[in-house]
Structure 1
Amino acid sequence: MVENLYKDYLLVEKNYSLDTVKSYLNDIESFKNFLMNEGLAKDLLDARRERLARNFISYLDNQNFSKKTIARKISGLKHFYQFLVDRNLIDVNIFLTVKTPKIPKKLPHTIDDDAINYLFNSIQKDKPLGFRNYLILDLLYSCGLRASEIVGLEIGDIYLSSGQILVHGKGSKDRYVPIHDKLAETLKHYLSYTRVSLLAKGDDTFQKKLLINYKGTPLTERGLRVILNDIIKQSGETYKIHPHMLRHAFATTLLNHGADLRVVQELLGHTHLKSTQVYTHVSSEVLKEKYKNTHPRMINNEKNK
């Protein structure tokens, strides 16, 4: 089956995560079912007419799929059929000329500095789980980590002497992210005391993963979300929080305080600058202040007053 060939390609050659591969394969299966249920083709290789791709998009639209979902499916299927063309399994990429629907640009929901500080202050650090939760919040907010990146951290990825951590990003792209002194001290205490007491609750005291759950086993992405929800609940706030919101807050805070866009790109682990540009919604006050202090006409006017 061509699906299995494509799966191996994504896992081995592209180094995509299992979740990403599963998403690609689900979209392919969805198109395959459409073709066979409608009697338009006997299999994926038999789909050789471009109108079949357009018919599928119309079908998705009628099923009330969002524009974002449809755009993602088009992108995935375009990539799949190009894979088939490159390997001479089919003559034409039927999705190549399909237009992707325009998606309204939405600014990422973020949390301001005051709200972040309130969350930090609401965590009780006198108990192991509370101290670990404080560390988690600081790693997410101060390093801009994805959920998969923070749960994937190992002890060997922490370099306290040089003040940085090694982050294993998407597509096996590693990057070093600096840590501030306070976070370094928190990590040092966690590694020396807190993590040891958490590991004692499990069977594997030689576990390499940095973050340990209440059972003494490695923290999962699901467990991470539960922890963030508990932090919100204990703080008395009512809004929902997820790891990516803290990643947004990390990027926005840096830009609002004058960081270069390309520096933020490197810290976030973005391959393309375009992905980082969504964070350039700097507050009007910051923009006005920068304009006032850098534009020559403004500077001269201030001197002449």
Structure 2
Amino acid sequence: MDILKAMKVLIEKYLKYLEIEKNASEHTIIAYNNDLLSFYNHLCENQSDSELPPELESISRLDIRLWLADLSDKDMAKSTISRKVAALRSFFKYCFKRGYIYKNPAHLLVVPKKQKTLPKTATAEDLERMLDNVSTDSVSGIQERTILELFYSTGMRLSELAGLNTADIDLKQSQVKVTGKGNKQRIIPLGEKSKDILRKHLNGREKLFGSKTGPDARKALFLAAHGQRLYQRAIQRIVEKHLKQASEVTQKSPHVLRHSFATHMLDNGADIRIIKEFLGHANLAATQVYTHTSVERLKNVYEQAHPRSKL
């Protein structure tokens, strides 16, 4: 088996390993598959059939560096290149540990530093106005208000909200069970406003059942027009529509509500370690970006309010 055929087979085995043993999300598996196929296609384009070496072992660090240089020449974002490097490192580490290769060409491969960008957030006043402006005169209106309330009140991810079932909501205990990355579950408290709109939604939810309401949809917390589970793109459109009406924040997505949740909690004195648990971050470093957002906000307030802030 030549190098490329062997690599294609191992990519498929590796993706199965991510899915079954590592409980990786569908999003991660798709992204890593695309990244590894990008490297595979690069090898195909740069080697003729007659030049193909007989073993996967022949892939060198130089092959990887040439691929990264090619990505950089295409003006690909550093964050995207970093993810591709991470995918390749993980893949070759898997191959090395399983004995498919005897040396790891991606060992000690340096990941390009990501461009640091602060999370986009909306003000608390904008989000209060957004929530107050959602009409709750219809079942679908109540559902949209519930979606927005949960995003801002809990800080959960888009995939986590889309995957919610009615059984995950416990109004008596004032909490929601969320299934995050790697199928890890966590409990997030619910505030009174969240509980109030959730009650209304649960009471009228069955009116959203339709021709496509199957076993999965009957469990789902949120439903689409024909009664199937509400898919992520539809949720994104709901958030975008209401954020446009209430805020001038440049990015209008569910992640803005997640970022706003964390930043507003931090601004009001919450411990960053507690915010980490709310967000479902694996390590504190991922959460610390919100401290930078709060510092920037303090600087802006200082520059606007203090008489000695400007020349």
Which of the five TM-score ranges fits, normalised by the shorter chain? 0.7 to 0.9
Q: How does 1:1-305 map to 2 (within 5 A)?
A: 1-39=9-47, 41-42=52-53, 45-193=56-204, 195-199=205-209, 203-204=213-214, 207-232=218-243, 239-280=250-291, 281-282=293-294, 283-284=297-298
What is the percent sequence identity of the aligned residues?
Answer: 33
Distance (whole Å) between structure 2 residues aligned to residue 246 and residue 236 of structure 1: 11
C-alpha displacement of 1:233: 5.0
Which moves more between the two structures, 102-111 or 268-277? 102-111
SS of structure 1 residue aligned to 2:176: strand
Equivalent residue number for residue 300 of structure 1: none
Mapped contact 1:35–1:42 kept (Cα < 8 A): no
How many angstroms does 1:93 deviate by?
1.6
**C-alpha contact (below 8 Å) 2:126/2:247 kept by paired residues:** no
RMSD value over aligned CA atoms? 2.3
Gaps of 5+ in 1: 289-305
Alignment deviations for residues 235-280 of structure 1 (CA, whole Å, 9 cap, x no partner): 5968551111100000001000000011000000001100000011
| 3-state secondary structure, aligned to 1:246 | helix
Alignment TM-score, normalising by the size of structure 1 = 0.88
CA deviation map 1:148-195 (0-9, x unaligned): 1001000110011010000001100000000001211211121112x1
How many residues matched?
287
Separation (CA, whole Å) in 1 of partners of 2:53 and 2:106: 18
Asked whether the equivalents of residues 123 and 235 of structure 1 are also in contact (C-alpha less than 8 Å), the reply is no
The farther-off stretch of 101-110 and 139-148 is 101-110
Unaligned runs of 5+ in 2: 1-8, 303-311
Name the SS for the 1:207 alignment partner.
Answer: helix
**How far did residue 46 of structure 1 move?**
4.2
CA contact (8 A) 1:164 1:178 kept: yes
Contact 1:166 1:175 in 2 (8 A): yes
Q: Which amino acid aligns with 1:134?
A: R
> CA separation in 1, counterparts of 2:201 and 2:144?
11
Q: Which residue of 2 aligns with 1:293?
A: none
- Partners of 2:251 and 2:113 in 1: CA distance: 28
Shift of 1:201: 6.5
